[in-house]
Amino acid sequence: MMGVVSEIHFANLTRLSYLDGSGNNLTLKVHDGWIPTFQVRALMLASWQLGPQFPAWLQYQGQLETLDISNIGICNSIPQLFWPKISNLWQLNLSRNQIRGEIQENLRFSLVLLWLT
């Protein structure tokens, strides 16, 4: 599937808790200050085009348990304000991006599956 998804597509999805759009060739275009109306537990958007900046709207997803944003075209660092928001995370896939920087030291990744390659 190819196409563009915008914030308007999510406007009425206030109870969205699971989204798996992986493997589609979709582009997410939202304005810089977008704050989603939903709190997802599982978000899989592998192979979407979300970059080159780290998606700032992810900082508002405080219920995340699974996050797969592999191969989304990120070419910068992850904002430090993102790390405290992912305390419930069990799976994190950031692979196949060009992410720079460090993972915050005080995170507890003992139970998290983490892909960074």
* Span 5-39, pLDDT tens digits: 999 999 999 999 999 999 999 999 999 899 999 99
pLDDT tens digits for range 59-107 = 999 999 999 999 999 999 988 888 777 777 888 898 999 988 777 665 5
Calpha distance 108→29 (Å, rounded): 32
**Considering the entire predicted model, what is its pTM?**
0.88
Strands 66-68 and 91-93, how do they pair? parallel
Can you read off the two tokens belonging to residue 49? 């085009």
Strand intervals (E) in the chain: 2-6, 18-20, 25-29, 42-44, 66-68, 91-93, 113-115
